[in-house]
Each structure stands twice: as structure tokens, then as C-alpha cells.
Amino acid sequence: MNLLHAFENGGVAGISRLPDKVIETVISKLFFFDDRVFKVYKWREGSIGDFTHPVFRKDFFRDDFRWNEAMSPETYIRLGYVRQEGNQYVQVPESEAEDFFIEMRKINEKNVLYTLLQQGTVSTVDLQSLVKTTFERLDTLTESVRDEFSDIFSISLPEMHTQDMESTRDWIRMHDDSLFKTRAGEIAETLIRFIPSYAPFRAFDTKQYLASVDNHAGNILLEDDEVRFIDSMPPMRIWRSRSPLYILSRPATDVEVLIGKESADHMYAEYTKLRGEPVDASERAYCQSVAALIMALYRRSMGEEEVSDRYLSFSREKSGELGIFA
């Protein structure tokens, strides 16, 4: 028996019943009990890393909770430590742990930003609050992890963007739809060619990097006049630092695609107000094209072809503003 089986079968001390619901992802399972959710990663090896290796597993749980608790302390409660004793798992000090779980409060899916954008119920004040909360919390998170992740906080911006796009291009090649693959591939090629040509990327000071978050609109909630985040930590270590404008452009792209440019402009204006940094038009176009291309791929993998095509068209439009063509 492992911890996944224990949660499924009432074998965790202090939780003496079966879960109300279980949701399975590629790398984890979520166990729902009343207003609490427990997340456990599977014991498997994959592209993200080897979750069967004790050190990787412990470090991943630690970082996942640290990222998420920093971004949404209202939602993420604790990192739990357990050890098997007989036919159940009992909670123990960290030094004695054989496995781990993350405990969080259950969210109301009706408050997910992606859903609210589709319903057209998001205000300018909501978006300004999102920008402010994002960067307040990212500044704190960055301060706590920069030294530990100094290797990825020192990569040049052109190299970082190139690595990202190579990864995205590999993802494009996995899709079966030949027309979609061709259109997405052309956009990716344009973006890859733009990176070394753009002088501000080469001049970027790596001290400006922030700890990155996976902050597309499906991972953000607007609830009780507060902004909350879920699944904040990018799973690949190399993705955990980014430029501030790239981070902003993830949700701003969702906003622009789903409800319009004027609303996204309010987010960029709030960013300039908060950080005193003007938004470069070409960098915005690049970051939004990348963000939209990623969402086109993601939404297509979820079977949402219509919205995927909207994101793909937007990505093509933004890449066309860069003046470089594949």
C-alpha cells in the first residue's frame, strides 16, 4: 500500500473515511473531504522528474507548497508528513517522513477567472486587483527563493525564451491535427526567429527576474473580493523564473482573447503604475503571442477546439506585429 491507496481507502490516521471525490491528473490525485482537499503525487517517473526518487519527491512537494502558500495563503494550509505503520499512514515529524501530502481548502470552481471571463462578469477593478496582488506576492516569493534557484535566475533572457519556445515546438509536434500543427508551427518559428533579433532582450538585466507562476486564467480565482491562486508552481524547475512582463502577459492574454483589448490595457496600465516600468509594445506582442500559443495547445488538448482556434488566431496576430515572418 502506498499513500495514494491509503487516501482512497480510509487508511490515513485522522481521516477515517473514504473521500467524497477523487480527481486524477497525469502526475497526481486530489482527494476531497468536505471543505478540504489533499494532493498526493503519484510514484512515477516522467518528463517533469522522477517522483520515485526520495530526494526529488521531497524537494518537489516542498517547493510546490512553498510556491502555492506564498501566492495563496488563504487556500494552502500545510505540507503534511507521513509514515506507514501497519495498515495505515500516520503523521510524523518531517525528519521521519516517508511520504507527503499538501492540504488545501476546497475552492469554488464558479469563481475561476477563466469561467468569469467567459461569462463577462469581470470588472476593471478586479483586473487591477489581480495585477497588484500578483506582484506583491511574487516580490515576497522571489526574495525567498532567488538564492536557492540562482542558476535559473541568471540565464540570459534570449536563452530563456529560446528554451521555452523549443519546448513549445516539441509540444506542437505531438498534435495529430496537421492543419493546426502547421499553423502553430509557423507561429513558433516566427517567435524563435524574433528572440535573437530583439536588442532589449539581449540587454535585459537578470536581476529583474521574478519567481514565475503558472498564472493562466484557469489557475486564478476571484472570490470574496480577493484574488487567489491555485497550482501556482511551474512543474519544470527551469520555468520557475521569468521576466515581469511575461508573467503579467499570461492572464492578460486570457483577458484580451476572451473579453477584449481594452480590459487587458487596464492590466498593463496598472503594471506600469505599480512598477514604474513602461510596457514595450514589441515585448508585449511577443509575450502575448507565446501565452496564446500555449493556451491554444492546452485548450486543444482539452477538446476545446473553438476556443483553441481563437487563441491560435490571436497568437498569429501578435506574432505578425513583430515584423519577422517564418
Q: Bridge partners of 121?
A: none
Q: HSE-up of 232 (CA within 13 Å, CB side)?
A: 28
Give the Cα separation of 115 and 267 in Å (integer). Answer: 18
Q: For residue range 149-164, list pLDDT tens digits in order.
A: 999 999 999 999 999 9
Judge whether 64 and 102 are in contact, CB under 8 Å.
yes
Q: In the chain, which residues have pLDDT < 70? A: 325-326
Question: Looking at residue 24, what is its pLDDT?
Answer: 92
Question: Looking at residue 325, what is its pLDDT?
Answer: 53
Q: Which helix (H) or strand (E) holds 24?
A: strand 21-24
Question: Looking at residue 326, what is its pLDDT?
Answer: 47
Q: For residue range 185-203, list pLDDT tens digits in order.
A: 999 999 999 999 999 999 9
Using only C-alpha atoms, what is the Rg of the chain?
20
Q: For residue range 73-132, list pLDDT tens digits in order.
A: 999 999 999 999 998 999 999 999 999 999 999 999 999 999 999 999 999 999 999 999
Chain-centroid distance, C-alpha 278: 25
| Torsion angle of the four alpha carbons 286, 287, 289, 290, in this order, in degrees rounded to the nearest 10 | 120
Using the structure block, give the residue that is written with the C-alpha cell 524547475: 237
Give the Cα separation of 122 and 117 in Å (integer). Answer: 6
